[in-house]
Amino acid sequence: MKTQSNLEKVLAAGHLAVTSECGPPRGASAETVVEKAKYLEGVVDAVNITDNQTAMVRMSSFAGSVLVKQQGMHPLLQMVTRDRNRLAMQADILGAYALGIDTMLCLSGDHTKFGDHPMAANVHDIDSIQLIQMVKQMRDEAKFQGGADIKGVVPKMFIGAAANPFADPFELRVMRLAKKIAAGADFIQTQCIFNVEKFEKWMEGVRDMGLHKKCYIMAGITPMKSVGAARYMKNKVPGMDVPQELVERMGSVEKENQPEEGIAICLETIERLKKVEGVAGFHIMAIDWEEKVEEIVRRADLYPRPQV
Amino acid sequence: MITAERKPLEEILAYIKPFKRILLLGCNECVTVCAAGGRKEVGLLASALQMSRLKEGNSIDIREHTLERQCDPEYVEELVPMIDSADAVLSMACGCGVQQLAMRFKEKPVFPAVNTKFMGGSERHGVWTERCQGCGDCLLGLTGGICPIAKCAKQLMNGPCGGSANGVCEISDDVECAWHLIWERLKALGLTDQYMEIMPAKDWRPAGGGGPRKIIREDLAE
Amino acid sequence: MEQFEPVIVAFCCHYCAYTAADMAGSQRLVYPSNVKIIRVPCSGKVDSLHILKAFEKGADGVYVAGCLDGDCHFKNGNDKATRKVKHMMQYLEEIGIEPERLEMVKMSAGMGQRFAQVATEMTEKIRKLGPSPIKAAAA
């Protein structure tokens, strides 16, 4: 065990782990975070707190994580390299750990062009892989990125990264994962999976390189609310692969039945993925539909969550 | 070369509004190549300014002159005989040239007529793209000759990110994914193993992170 | 009151537009004398500066006449001229001169009729627009 992280304990014990996410509000309301997080209480092993997602300013993932921790849940601090330099990131890591946060996800972050501040600088002092290296060095060598020793308590983060089996070029996607693991990633959360065949192909490559043994791979899942949502994800979101037959399936039912169809697809996907060797758990991203996570977890036979 | 684009006429007119006699200076190097501030563009701007000011009933005297370069003191010195007959100087050179003029002619208002954009090269006639950001520690030897700092929207050193699709950057279909290009190059060169090496966090000091940069050649400087 | 007689400068390419002008002449077709023809080897040879200078020196309207698409004697001079004219129309707008005062037209060597028609239409268009704002200010 590298850390005290609850997520690490669940994964190390051999259970299928479950995580979900909570997007902080575009205002300063602590209550909003608490309310959203309540939907996930007892349902997940860790809660991702997003970091200025799609480059829209929101309450910081740091603050959101602290609020979630205060509710007795396990926050997963997401950190993008887009908004801060290495000094600020290391400072945040020290602060987060001091406040009981021990699990984090290292990301580049969507370009500012997508958000509400397209005029802002894209910092990227370091990229996501260099961030993974940095967090690992802090944990395992007790050193800052610049080389100096960390004094006193050393932050021991369980380090996560994102992987997208569906982005281009496909041949690079397994190598990219290998690079993140070589840099120090302990676990991975993938982009949400609709094209299970393509994901299975990616996993073949992953297993060929033995990567599933070096790192816990959690499959990303998103339930579709409507045929409109399906189309939007297919056409407007970069790096997503939504097969046409799923869009048609969503469109083939009446509007009021579409949510249930979306959940059905979601549950079928989970069942298929449970059978894929190397899948260590599920990361359920129910955007604007957080209340459904508990139902999905229960109906997928992943409830209750193990107490480790 | 350094690329630039002419400023909107409205902005230029606002700068020179109080002045009657202008020295309009072009540069024969970079801004000529990107058709922004060479002899021809000086001619066009002079004509345009004449006509605009005539319309306002506030006529103007414009003297047109194009220097070999505006970023070297020796060339700027050529302007000494012309400078007294001008109330202000309007330069179509890049920021380097404009500043050289301001340094030499401390008492004379100097204004830029172009917006300096980026260091780049020609894709084809009339199209120029950004290629270099002067990071001071060139890594083109490691990336098949394609720069991830200048050409990747997130300046990733270990790309591509998850937003790369169909060889195109997430920010626009018009922007090629730099890492897709790098990967294709590495493949063509048989260097795909190199991709697995992790590029460590960059030292940004040579890139300007250490303050405004300077080069002193001891063998050349007196 | 005297009617306003616009001054129009027409840059005509030797191979097509100028020959069409010749044809109009030999067919005794009438077109306004407001149009001053300048022969150029190719419409692509017309420099942006020539266009602006024409306006600066008092032209009320300017047009560049080249060959029909695909027929340029120099392959794509007429395409270059078209792009140049479009660009200069934007510059004119910035200066405060109506971009309609500048136009790109295309015709073949045998189109005497068209030459006369374009000359007439352009003259009327500019007459309606009135004197160029530059001339008006200088007056």
Residue C1's pLDDT is: 59
What ranges in chain A are assigned the alpha helix state H?
Answer: 6-12, 30-38, 61-70, 86-98, 128-141, 170-183, 196-208, 211-214, 227-236, 244-251, 258-274, 293-299
| Cβ-based contacts of B48 with chain C (< 8 Å) | 52, 91, 94-95
Residue A288's pLDDT is: 79
How do residues B179-203 score in pLDDT, each as one tens digit?
Answer: 999 999 999 999 999 999 999 999 9
| Cβ-based contacts of B165 with chain A (< 8 Å) | 167-168, 238-239
Residue B76, classed as helix, strand or coil, is helix
Q: Cβ contact (<8 Å) for B196 and A129?
A: no
**Phi, psi for C93 (deg, rounded to 5):** -60, -40
The C-alpha atoms of residue C62 and residue C41 are separated, in whole angstroms, by 18
List Cβ neighbours of B86 (8 Å cut-off, separation of 6 or more): B21, B22, B23, B63, B108
In chain A the domains, ranked by start, together with CATH numbers, are 6-298 (3.20.20.220)
Which chains have 3+ CB pairs within 8 A of B?
Answer: A, C
| Cβ-based contacts of C49 with chain B (< 8 Å) | 40, 43-44, 47
Best mutation site among C46, C47, C52, C101 for testing chain B: the one with the most B CBs within 10 Å? C52
The C-alpha atoms of residue A163 and residue A177 are separated, in whole angstroms, by 7
* Residue among B153, B163, B167 whose CB faces A239 most closely: B163
In a domain, C102, yes or no: yes
How far does the CA of residue C53 sit from the closest CA of chain B (Å)?
Answer: 7
Q: Are B56 and B100 in contact (CB under 8 A)?
A: no
User: Does residue B8 have a cis bond before it (omega within 30 degrees)?
Assistant: no
How far does the CA of residue B181 sit from the closest CA of chain C (Å)?
Answer: 31
Say what the ipTM of the complex is.
0.89
Q: Cβ contact (<8 Å) for B48 and C49?
A: no
Place of tokens 């070029």: A169
List Cβ neighbours of A205 (8 Å cut-off, separation of 6 or more): A173, A174
Asked if B162 reaches chain A (Cβ–Cβ under 8 Å), the answer is: yes
Best mutation site among B54, B59, B64, B124 for testing chain C: the one with the most C CBs within 10 Å? B54
Asked if B139 reaches chain A (Cβ–Cβ under 8 Å), the answer is: no
In a domain, C124, yes or no: yes
**Phi, psi for C39 (deg, rounded to 5):** -85, 135
What single-letter DSSP state applies at residue C118?
A: H
Q: Cβ contact (<8 Å) for A130 and B199?
A: yes
- Whether the predicted pLDDT of B21 surpasses 90: yes
Asked if B161 reaches chain A (Cβ–Cβ under 8 Å), the answer is: yes
Best mutation site among B42, B49, B51 for testing chain C: the one with the most C CBs within 10 Å? B51
Q: Does residue C1 or residue A34 have the better pLDDT?
A: A34
How far does the CA of residue B178 sit from the closest CA of chain A (Å)?
Answer: 12
The C-alpha atoms of residue A170 and residue C68 are separated, in whole angstroms, by 48
Residue C109's pLDDT is: 94
Residue A236's pLDDT is: 80
- Whether the predicted pLDDT of C99 surpasses 80: yes
Residue C3's pLDDT is: 87
In a domain, C57, yes or no: yes
Q: Cβ contact (<8 Å) for B48 and C133?
A: no
Please indicate whether chains C and A are in contact, defined as at least 3 beta carbon pairs under 8 Å. Answer: no
Locate A303 and state its tokens: 């409830």
Q: Range with the lowest mean pLDDT among A7-11, A167-171, B103-107, B119-123?
A: A167-171
How far does the CA of residue B163 sit from the closest CA of chain A (Å)?
Answer: 5
**Of residues A258, A184, A270, the one with CA closest to residue A224:** A258
How do residues C2-45 score in pLDDT, each as one tens digit?
Answer: 789 999 999 999 999 999 999 999 999 999 999 999 999 999 99
Q: Cβ contact (<8 Å) for C53 and B50?
A: no
Q: Are A122 and A111 in contact (CB under 8 A)?
A: yes
Residue A239's pLDDT is: 75
How do residues A210-259 score in pLDDT, each as one tens digit?
Answer: 999 999 999 999 999 999 999 998 988 777 899 999 999 999 999 999 99
**Of residues A234, A297, A307, A233, the one with CA closest to residue A266:** A297
Asked if C139 reaches chain B (Cβ–Cβ under 8 Å), the answer is: no
| Cβ-based contacts of C90 with chain B (< 8 Å) | none
The C-alpha atoms of residue B133 and residue B213 are separated, in whole angstroms, by 13
The rounded percent of chain A whose pLDDT value lies above 90 is 91
How far does the CA of residue C138 sit from the closest CA of chain B (Å)?
Answer: 7
* Residue among A111, A129, A175 whose CB faces B154 most closely: A111
Q: What is the mean pLDDT of chain B?
A: 95
C-alpha to C-alpha distances, B68 to A65, B36, B38, B155, C93, nearest whole angstrom = 60, 15, 10, 34, 31
Q: Cβ contact (<8 Å) for A110 and B204?
A: no
> What average pLDDT does the segment A87-101 reach?
98
Q: Domain B2-118: what homologous superfamily?
A: Response regulator (3.40.50.2300)
| Cβ-based contacts of B47 with chain C (< 8 Å) | 49, 52-53, 55-56
How far does the CA of residue B114 sit from the closest CA of chain A (Å)?
Answer: 21
pLDDT confidence bin for B169, thresholds 50/70/90: very high
| Cβ-based contacts of B204 with chain A (< 8 Å) | 125
Residue B41, classed as helix, strand or coil, is helix
- Whether the predicted pLDDT of B210 surpasses 90: no
* Residue among C47, C91, C138 whose CB faces B48 most closely: C91
In a domain, C38, yes or no: yes
Asked if B166 reaches chain A (Cβ–Cβ under 8 Å), the answer is: yes
| Cβ-based contacts of B54 with chain C (< 8 Å) | 134, 137-138
- Whether the predicted pLDDT of C85 surpasses 90: yes
C-alpha to C-alpha distances, B171 to A175, A286, B159, nearest whole angstrom = 24, 25, 15
Compute how many other C-beta atoms are within 10 angstroms of the C-beta atom of residue A237: 15
How do residues A262-287 score in pLDDT, each as one tens digit?
Answer: 999 999 999 999 999 999 999 999 98
How far does the CA of residue A225 sit from the closest CA of chain B (Å)?
Answer: 23
Task: Tell me the CATH number at C70.
Answer: 3.40.50
In a domain, C1, yes or no: no
The C-alpha atoms of residue B109 and residue C39 are separated, in whole angstroms, by 43
How far does the CA of residue B173 sit from the closest CA of chain A (Å)?
Answer: 11
| Cβ-based contacts of A120 with chain B (< 8 Å) | none
Q: Cβ contact (<8 Å) for B9 and C94?
A: yes
How do residues A186-211 score in pLDDT, each as one tens digit?
Answer: 999 999 999 999 999 999 999 999 99
Asked if B164 reaches chain A (Cβ–Cβ under 8 Å), the answer is: yes
| Cβ-based contacts of B9 with chain C (< 8 Å) | 91, 94-95
Q: Are A110 and A55 in contact (CB under 8 A)?
A: yes
As for how many domains chain C has, the answer is 1
Locate A276 and state its tokens: 């894929």
Place of tokens 């910081």: A60
Half-sphere exposure of C26 (CA within 13 A, CB side): 9
> What average pLDDT does the segment A103-126 reach?
95
Residue B166's pLDDT is: 85
Could you tell me the residue ranges of all domains in chain B? 2-118, 133-207
**Phi, psi for A81 (deg, rounded to 5):** -85, -5
Range of the domain at C81: 8-138
| Cβ-based contacts of B148 with chain A (< 8 Å) | none
Indicate the helix (H) or strand (E) that contains C79. helix C77-95
How do residues A134-147 score in pLDDT, each as one tens digit?
Answer: 999 999 999 999 99
Beta bridge partners of A49: A22, A77
C-alpha to C-alpha distances, A150 to A137, A139, A159, nearest whole angstrom = 10, 10, 18
* Residue among A128, A145, A167 whose CB faces B164 most closely: A167
